Every structure is written in structure tokens, then in C-alpha cells.
Structure 1
Amino acid sequence: MLYGNILTPDGWRLGWLRWQAGRVTAIDGDAVDPTDNDHPRLLPGFVDLHVHGGGGADAMEGGEAAATLARTHVRFGTTSLLVTTMTAPPAEIERALRDAAAWVAAPPECAARLLGVHLEGPYINPGKLGAQPPHARPGVIAEVEALLALAPIRLLTLAPELSGHAELIRHLDARGVRVQMGHSLGSYEEGVAGLAHGARGFTHLFNAMSGLHHRKPGMVGAALAHAEYAEIIPDLLHVHPGAIRAALRCIPRLYAVTDSTAAAGMPDGEYRLGTQHVTKCLGGVRLADGTLAGSTLTMDQALRNLVAIGLDLADAAQRLSRFPADFLGEHAIGRLEVGAHADVAVMSADLDLDAVYVGGECVHRRDAASTTETDPCR
């Protein structure tokens, strides 16, 4: 059990969070304003639906990569995540999916929960690759079904304007796969049509999509006018704080992702993003031409950034936990309530991450006296 300011779906309570066999059994205590005390903030563990890498490992490498990134990101409060692939030749995508699926089936110890795969590409617009390699192509149902047989693909990013993608969106929605629109040159009308066909959100809102103009609202305009959900990268490099605040006013369940690369949790230097070499420097990751190539963001820093631009802590926290969990249809994570997994990010009043619990097991702890980090699993 843990004592502190507990963020529940009904608000803050100061008291005891209790669990058994990895599930919350009771939350005792009274309603409270956490700013009135210095007790720990017990937040739902963070849920990151867009993670390419971390700890020096890139998901497209296959092998141990999924386990490494899950062990890396749990140190920053992420207790559940989707291993995210990139646009690549078919054989490389298939290898990455097989290896990720093996870790989903046999989860690594002392790591974030692996919920499955986010397939970002190759079904994107070749004119809006961003940092994706030039292997984009339209998707066909038979090929996507073959990929679904290799791994639990929970989320798929595509460009809705490509030929055949209206039918593909409808098919994926019927199969229970969430579809987000991104890496797109689509018009406002094509974005609205994508939502009507069954797409549920937008991938890294504002980035790698047709922008908002008052006579051509573009994919951004479709998101701001119609979306219930969209992901955004709040590293304050990918999107200006003013644009984040505009999106918050328009999209009720805007949620945070890291879009992190192998460089997350690592020192400055050279890393891989798929087959490409990227450089981590000054808090960002870029290709040789200066293009932003994913991020080094971690979810605890995403929380601090959202609070820094004016969000209340409870509002910021739900955009890292409950909203992405709900988007994926996962209702036992991303919240602290009876019956939910005991996934907890324990933070100080200053929003330093002090400890992380996954299923009631402490997998990371920071020594408050020395500010050193320890691994309770060792």
C-alpha cells in the first residue's frame, strides 16, 4: 500500500492506496487539494501509445529491442506502451513485428506492460514522410491481414487520402484496430471522411500533416473541428505551447505521446531510427538535414511540460494515462480505482519521479536523500 495524494477518476483523495495480486482493492481517505500538503502525488501509471525506442534500442532492430525500450521507459513513469514501428521494406517490418510479438506474449521483467504494436507506416503519403524512410505505399487489406497475423497491432497510422484507404479504415475498425490519420497531405474534407469511415484520431497532431489555413483547413483543421482524440508530442520542440493550448480547447481528449527514439534515456550522440542515423543534441533528435526525427521525451517530462504551460496537474496527468488508455479500449489501466491494475507513478510535490509500480511491484525508485536512481528488481 502507499500513502499520499491519490488521483482518482473522481478527483484527489489523501489517504491509502491498497492492492492485492496486482489490482487496486481499496482507496481510503478524504477529498483534498494536493497543493495544501507535501505528501507524494500518486498518479496513474503513464500510457504511451507511440514509442519507437529507448535506452539505445530501436524497435525496428527486433531482437531484444522491445524489452529494452520497455525497461527504459518504465524508469520515467510509463507503465504501459505500444512498441511503434516505422515505414520500411516488408521483410524489415515483418521481423520487427514477430520479435515484438514474442515480448508481448512473454513480457520482460521490471518493465512497462507491452500492450501490442503501433504500426506507423508504411501506408502513409510519400510527400509527407517527415523522418520516415522513403518506403511509403498504399495499403491493401490482404497485406494488412498478413501483418495482423504476426503481432497484436492495436493502432495503425495511415494517410486517408491514398487509394483504397477508405475501405481499409472500415475494415480495420471492424477488426477492432484503432486507426489514426497522419503523415498526410489530405484535405480537410478527406480528414472528415476518414473519421466517418472509422478513423478514431490523429498521429502527432500538427506534425507531418497538412496545416491549417483559413481557406484550406487541411488535416489539422479536420482534427481541431471534429476529433474527440488526437495524440500530441509535448516536448515543446515539435509543437509550440500556443498550438498545444489551441488544441486543448478544441479536442476534448487530446493525449500525450513521446514519439521517443533509441536516444531516449541516453546521452547526446549518434543513434538509429529504423535504418537512418540520427543525432541527439540540445534535447532533440534530428536527421542530418535538421529534420526533427522523433524525440528524446519521456512521459514524466511530458507531464512537467504540460503543467509548465498552464495545465492543472490532474488534467495533465489524465492526458498521459486515462485518455490514451480509453482511446485504446483499455479500462483497467490509466486510472487508480478499485479493480484497476496497481500501476502507479509516485511523484514529489515538485513533480520529481520518486517511484514506479507496475501491477503492484516496485520496478523503479529514486533515493530522495541522494537523488540517485535504484532498480528494486536487482
Structure 2
Amino acid sequence: MSTVGQLVPARIEWNVQGRITRLTRLDTRSTALPVVLPGFIDEHIHGACGHDVMEAHAGAWEQIEHALSRHGVTAFLATTITAPWDDLMAVADLARQWTPSPLSTCIGMHWEGPYLDRQYKGAQPLEAIRAVNLEEIERAIVPLRHAERPLRVMTLAPNESSADQAIRLLTDHGIHVNMGHSGANRSQAWEGMLAGADAITHLFNAMAPLHHREPGLLGLGLSAENLWLELITDGIHVHPDIVRMVFQLAAHRIILITDGISAIDQTPGRYRLGQWMVHVDGVSARLDDGTLAGSILTPDQSLRNLLQWGVPLREVVQAWCEAPARRLALGGRGRIEEGAWADLAIFDAQYQVLSTIKNGHVLYQR
């Protein structure tokens, strides 16, 4: 069992409500015990198993849930891509009306866009990127305050006109704001942070590079203690050396994500990301021009990668489990302790998932 990343032999008991009632230390040195970690929380994922969040269909989202449970995920945010407004509203309607199982792992939405910097669009469709419109934002978010799956996070570019006002509006409604897909300089990023933005979307990717005389969004993220840092650890989006550096600088602020797309658990081929069809070669997902378009990373593979790269298990667990739970105020999630929910990912000695448990109920068993 892992308590905040420290492995100890223990028995975990929980009640019928799914709350952990007792942790009992075992007097054993057996290496045959499975490894039990808190369930993974992925706050930035677009799809899996051939399905995309932008399908805006309950059946597709349920299939994504089922696929992610095979990888130890007990909570995730269904993440949009920049798209025509009607398509975003269709996703919002589903989030508002969908009444899934009590054991659903989809806990809300993350809107990546549409208020982004066209120069740093990455795989976001250029034609669907919009100028910030405060009235439009308010009309969209007010009905979502009490949605079954609320809007919890929005990514926007802090250097766009009226971005600081949009950030204040969103945070006033309890929505976290990520700064990303942006060429913001340090001053613009600072203003976004002062307005209430509390995280940076997929650090290093789709933003201006670090310069010693103009730190920009990236430099601010590495130095500002009150910003969470999303990080993709597939070894492609960010080199392992840089991943290790970020953990050395800011392990307590990292939120690991996959930015996964519909090609997760699929064979190489062409798969959907919003309106795009992307090429997947078994390692990465790219647009026709070679631009990275999300990933096919899974949280358990991220865990194995990070351990291989020398990142301590306790820091990996914090970044995959405790940090997103703290940021999103998911009380009783992300930790293994008495009183917490029994959201667990169980592994063999090679960190392959054996089973996934949500609120004390088995979602997946190998």
C-alpha cells in the first residue's frame, strides 16, 4: 500500500459507503503483495478506445470511462478541443443532462479553448479559435454551475484581449483557469496569474520557449509557487531530462496528465481528435504536418516511465493523485488514509494494473 507515495505492507478496510475505515500495518516482508496506490486523476484527456469527448454522446463517454478504468483511473475531466460554438454547446448539454452510474469516473469537464493564441494553437483548429467574449462565456457557464458534470477547468491564452476579465469571470464562478496555448510574455502571464489563473496547460508545449531575458509563461510557471504545472510524460512531448528537472524544481506543483486521445488502446491508424483525423504510429499522435496532437499515453505507462527515469514513487503518486485532488477540491480523494474514499489502483510488481476500485467497488479486474 502507498500512503503519500511511501510503500508499506498493510491491510485496507472500507465500509459499505466506500470510505476507508482502517489501515492495519502488516508484519511481513513478503514481496508477493500487490502494490496499492490511490486511483489516478487525469484532468486533461480527450478520449480513449476509439471515442472522443467531442462526440457529445453518453455512450461514447461511458466507453471512455471503461477504457480508462483499465489503466487505474478513478476520476477524469472530459476535455474538449477548440471547436465551433455549437459543438461545444452540445458537449455542455451532455454534461448538464447526463445521469451516469454513481460509480462514474467522469467528474466534470475541461475546456481547452476556444480562447487561444493563434500563433501557438498546436493541434487546435485555427478557424475555431475565438476572440474572448465575456457575454458568451457567461451564457455558457451559468447553466453548467449545477450540471451533473460541471465545467471545472478552462484553458485560455492570457495574452489575448480581455483575457484577465475572462479569468476573473470564470474564477468568480468557481472554475479553475489554466494558461496555455500562448505566446504570452512574462508580464502578460503575471497579469493572468493575478487575475486568478492557477495552472499552466501541458508545460513546454504550445507556448513560447524559455529565454533568459524574457521568461514568458514558461519561466513564470517554473518560478511561481502558486501555479500548478500540467506535464505530459510520454517521453515525446517533453524529454526525460527536462521532466526530471521540473520534478527537481517543483515536484509539489506538478499535475501529471495524459492529454490522451481516442487512439488510446487502439492499433496504429487514423483516429479522431475533435474535428481532426490524426495519424497514430503506436508511439505518438500527429497531424498531417507532423504537429503533435495529444498523446496515446496512459497514467500507468506514465508511472512506469517516471520510475524508469528515476523520479521517486512518492513524487509520482503526489503528482498523479494528491495534487489534482487538492486543486479540484475532491475531498477524500487522491490519498490512502482513514476516512478517505476507497479509490484505488492495484498493481503487480511490474506496475501493470491488476484492478481498479472506485468507492470500494471494483471497476476493472484483470
TM-score normalised by the chain length of structure 1: 0.90
1:23 Cα deviation from its structure 2 partner = 1.3
Match of 1:42 among 36, 41, 51: 36
1:30 Cα deviation from its structure 2 partner = 5.5
Task: Describe the superposition over 1:26-54 as per-residue Cα deviations: whole angstroms up to 9, x where unpaired.
Answer: 1111699x8x7331111000000001000
Distance (Å, rounded) in 2 between the aligned partners of 1:348 and 1:312: 18
Q: Which residue of 2 aligns with 1:376?
A: none
Q: In the comparison of the two structures, how many residue pairs are matched?
A: 356
Distance (Å, rounded) in 1 between the aligned partners of 2:7 and 2:116: 42
Name the stretch that deviates more: 218-227 or 136-145. 136-145
1:260 Cα deviation from its structure 2 partner = 0.5
CA RMSD of aligned residues (A): 1.8
Q: Which residue of 2 aligns with 1:115?
A: 107
Question: Secondary structure of 1:319's match?
Answer: helix
Name the stretch that deviates more: 41-50 or 217-226. 217-226
Question: Secondary structure of 1:316's match?
Answer: helix
TM-score normalised by the chain length of structure 2: 0.93
Question: Which letter maps to 2:349?
Answer: A
2:53 aligned with 1:75, yes or no? Answer: no
Cα pair 1:192 1:226 within 8 Å, conserved: no
Question: Secondary structure of 2:188's match?
Answer: helix
Q: Which residue of 1 aligns with 2:87?
A: 92
Q: Which residue of 2 aligns with 1:330?
A: 330
Cα pair 1:125 1:137 within 8 Å, conserved: no
The answer for unaligned runs of 5 or more in structure 1 is 1-5, 367-378
Distance (Å, rounded) in 2 between the aligned partners of 1:100 and 1:68: 15
Q: Which residue of 2 aligns with 1:137?
A: 130
Structure having greater relative contact order (Cα 8 Å, sep ≥ 6): 2
CA 1:352 to 1:57, structure 2 compared with 1: closer, same or farther past 3 Å?
A: same
Distance (Å, rounded) in 2 between the aligned partners of 1:177 and 1:84: 14
Question: Which letter maps to 2:118?
Answer: P
2:285 aligned with 1:285, yes or no? Answer: yes
1:238 Cα deviation from its structure 2 partner = 0.5
Question: Which letter maps to 2:216?
Answer: G
1:100 Cα deviation from its structure 2 partner = 3.2
Match of 1:127 among 115, 119, 123: 119
CA 1:311 to 1:10, structure 2 compared with 1: closer, same or farther past 3 Å?
A: closer
Distance (Å, rounded) in 1 between the aligned partners of 2:224 and 2:363: 39
Q: Which residue of 1 aligns with 2:247?
A: 248
Cα pair 2:11 2:26 within 8 Å, conserved: no
Q: Which residue of 2 aligns with 1:318?
A: 318
2:231 aligned with 1:232, yes or no? Answer: yes
Cα pair 1:12 1:31 within 8 Å, conserved: no
Question: Which letter maps to 1:318?
Answer: Q
Distance (Å, rounded) in 1 between the aligned partners of 2:192 and 2:115: 14
Identity in percent? 37
Task: Describe the superposition over 1:63-106 as per-residue Cα deviations: whole angstroms up to 9, x where unpaired.
Answer: 12222211111111011000000111110110022123333xx2
Question: Which letter maps to 1:202?
Answer: I
Match of 2:51 among 47, 53, 57: 57
2:140 aligned with 1:147, yes or no? Answer: yes
1:168 Cα deviation from its structure 2 partner = 1.3
CA 1:91 to 1:31, structure 2 compared with 1: closer, same or farther past 3 Å?
A: farther
Name the stretch that deviates more: 139-148 or 120-129. 139-148
Question: Which letter maps to 1:192?
Answer: W
Cα pair 2:233 2:306 within 8 Å, conserved: yes
Distance (Å, rounded) in 2 between the aligned partners of 1:174 and 1:30: 47
Name the stretch that deviates more: 176-185 or 136-145. 136-145
Question: Secondary structure of 1:264's match?
Answer: coil
CA 1:81 to 1:292, structure 2 compared with 1: closer, same or farther past 3 Å?
A: same
Question: Secondary structure of 1:320's match?
Answer: helix
1:142 Cα deviation from its structure 2 partner = 2.0
Cα pair 2:5 2:315 within 8 Å, conserved: no
1:112 Cα deviation from its structure 2 partner = 5.1
